[in-house]
Chain A
Amino acid sequence: MLKLENITKVFHPGTVNEKIALIDINLHIRKSDVVCIIGSNGSGKSTLFNIIAGTYPVTNGTITFDGVDITHKAEYRRAMTIGRIFQDPTKGTAANMSVEDNMITAETKGMKRLKISLNNAKREEFREILKQIGLESRLKDNVGLLSGGQRQALTLLMTAMSRPKMLLLDEHTAALDPRNAQIVMDLTERFISEQKLTALMVTHNMQFAIDFGTRLIMMDEGQIILDVSGEEKKDLTVDKLVRLFKDIRKKTYATDAALLTTN
């Protein structure tokens, strides 16, 4: 479904700030893969997402999605099929607008027309959808009045409404308290299984990465150092993961274990 070939990303090339963020990444995501990506800060996870979503251009390499070369496609064009949820709950919704206006924007992807789609039938439909997160009475409230957890849950519902083919989840529960994180995570799981989505999720939680999804990728210093799926993934434990990391990178994991939380 998604194929990254020889992807290299260098920031500020030719200056003193030059930083190689991704080195020759090759990755093939198959349809219905649910991939957890782990790695310490600065390992290239976020850059990988930004490359896939089209936020940054690549320095080298090609990206194909469903057989189409999307390497030079603008971010908003890729967003037609790739849904993305950020860690920051404020990024997915517009705070200055009501819940219903946010939802109508998300309902159909792409450039909008001079047509008023928001009517009472639509409102009823939205209310039904919002029941899942208990916000059915707040259609007219500005999104800025919602809590971070509510906003993230709303973002998720809005993304689900627009029916993406692939979902990028960038630590989307990291900024929430445990209870809200659980609510958003449950919604995410349901949404992925209901729409049989292909999903990539960045997480710092190793245990979670082991339990969730069908495939696990570990990144370090701009490279994919581990890619396990199926039975092999089911047999993983946190200790095994840390040992694997140590064997591959020949580094002591003391510092990295601190970054890769285990609970």
Chain B
Amino acid sequence: MIEGIFVDGLIFSLMVIGILISYRILDFADLTCDGSVATGAAVATMAIVGGAPISIALVLAFISGVIAGMVTAAIHNKLKIPGLLAGILTMTMLYSINLRILGNKANVPLLRVPTLYTKLPDFFSFFKPEIASLVGTLLVVLAVKSLVDLWFRTDLGVSMGAMGGNEQMVVSQGINPEVLKLMGIGLSNGLIALSGGLLAQYQGFADANLGQGMVVQGLAAIMIGEFLFSSNRISLITLRAIFGAIIYKALLFFGRKYGYLVNITPNDFKLLTGILVIVSLFIAQGRSAASSRGARKKVLARNKVQEEIDA
């Protein structure tokens, strides 16, 4: 049971890292996610059902997400409309496209075909099946996390972070921000779709409605992660996103299991997730106010010391 939470959380964490890239690193409020996660699930499912190897299916899922993200970025770049609107456009269009990919069905099961989660217990046969799934997923997530960390330590990745902080600075350094957005939002949605591809295999089906409300859930996970520790190092930022994702899934699990005691049903989860995000923002606001008060005190103290030295 407990392994289930971790596998679920780890799969979800890839999506959280994707959302982290768009919201936190690129400062681009991207709603494509709700569509691209289902696209990833649909592409991976149809590829596997069609007989493709699992690795190819996941690569295809990733690529489909990259394309979806690039469409959003291109709409934003060329029509100069806000990223939010561009994302909503792509997300809406993706809903129809996802149904097409799924052969005009809302739901395609992965029955009697080998998936990652039927193969992992065979591969790690010395583990219990649940542990094997967990170890396999963990390896995938760690590999992706390391690649993402590496990406954001390259000169290109650093300039993406710079764009999120200050677009003018990137322009002043002779970099075209449109290209950075194309790549960054592409990467973000690629990871989200990859997460969708894994999720479809884990739950055993792809669903056109899979993505509903995913962005807010991802944001909630990011914010939970940010409460754990603060850092400006990319490896720790992605690590805490993974922790946040697992904690969020654990909260959902316990909500489902014990929620009835306080009369909470799964129907309430979207509301509770939204409230969680709002409360997190509220606390973060209080924290930053407190830390700026602290910084002010420090500066005043330092100035006083300086004055004494001068005198």
**A117 to B, closest residue via Cβ:** B155
B: contact size bracket? 20 to 34
Whether the Cβ atoms of B154 and A111 lie closer than 8 Å is: no
Within 8 A of A (CB), among B166-208: 166, 168-177, 179
B53 interfacial by beta-carbon distance below 8 Å? no
A92 interfacial by beta-carbon distance below 8 Å? yes
B164 interfacial by beta-carbon distance below 8 Å? yes
A114 interfacial by beta-carbon distance below 8 Å? yes
Whether the Cβ atoms of B232 and A97 lie closer than 8 Å is: yes
Whether the Cβ atoms of B158 and A76 lie closer than 8 Å is: no
Whether the Cβ atoms of B169 and A105 lie closer than 8 Å is: yes
B266 interfacial by beta-carbon distance below 8 Å? no
Whether the Cβ atoms of B171 and A79 lie closer than 8 Å is: yes
Contacts of A26 in B (CB 8 A): none
Binding site for B on A (CB under 8 A): 74-77, 79-80, 83-84, 86, 90-98, 101-102, 104-106, 108-118, 142, 145, 162
Checking B162, B168, B179 against A101 with a beta-carbon cut-off of 8 angstroms, the contacting residue is B162
Checking A75, A115, A145 against B155 with a beta-carbon cut-off of 8 angstroms, the contacting residue is A115
Whether the Cβ atoms of B155 and A110 lie closer than 8 Å is: no
**What are 16 A-B contacts defined by CB distance under 8 Å?**
A76-B175, A77-B174, A79-B172, A90-B166, A94-B165, A102-B169, A104-B158, A105-B155, A105-B162, A109-B173, A110-B173, A110-B175, A112-B154, A112-B158, A112-B175, A113-B156
B69 interfacial by beta-carbon distance below 8 Å? no
Within 8 A of A (CB), among B277-311: 295
Chain A nearest CB from B169 CB (Å) reads 5
Contacts of A74 in B (CB 8 A): 176
B159 interfacial by beta-carbon distance below 8 Å? yes
Contacts of B158 in A (CB 8 A): 97, 101, 104-105, 112, 118
Checking A76, A98, A113 against B154 with a beta-carbon cut-off of 8 angstroms, the contacting residue is A113
Contacts of A116 in B (CB 8 A): 150, 153-155
CA distance A77 to B125 in the complex (A): 57
CA distance A132 to B213 in the complex (A): 51
Q: A76-B171, A111-B176 are in contact. List 10 more A-B contacts (CB 8 A).
A: A91-B166, A92-B168, A94-B166, A102-B162, A102-B169, A110-B175, A114-B156, A114-B157, A118-B155, A145-B295
Contacts of A162 in B (CB 8 A): 173-174
Chain B nearest CB from A55 CB (Å) reads 9
CA distance A162 to B159 in the complex (A): 15
Chain B nearest CB from A154 CB (Å) reads 11
Chain B nearest CB from A196 CB (Å) reads 21
Chain B nearest CB from A74 CB (Å) reads 7
CA distance A115 to B174 in the complex (A): 18
**B156 to A, closest residue via Cβ:** A112
Contacts of B173 in A (CB 8 A): 79, 105-106, 109-110, 162
Contacts of B153 in A (CB 8 A): 116, 118
Whether the Cβ atoms of A79 and B174 lie closer than 8 Å is: yes
B161 interfacial by beta-carbon distance below 8 Å? yes
Whether the Cβ atoms of B166 and A95 lie closer than 8 Å is: yes
Whether the Cβ atoms of A96 and B155 lie closer than 8 Å is: no
Contacts of B179 in A (CB 8 A): 111
Chain A nearest CB from B93 CB (Å) reads 29
**B163 to A, closest residue via Cβ:** A94
Contacts known (A91-B166, A95-B166); A76 close to B177, Cβ less than 8 A: yes
**B151 to A, closest residue via Cβ:** A114
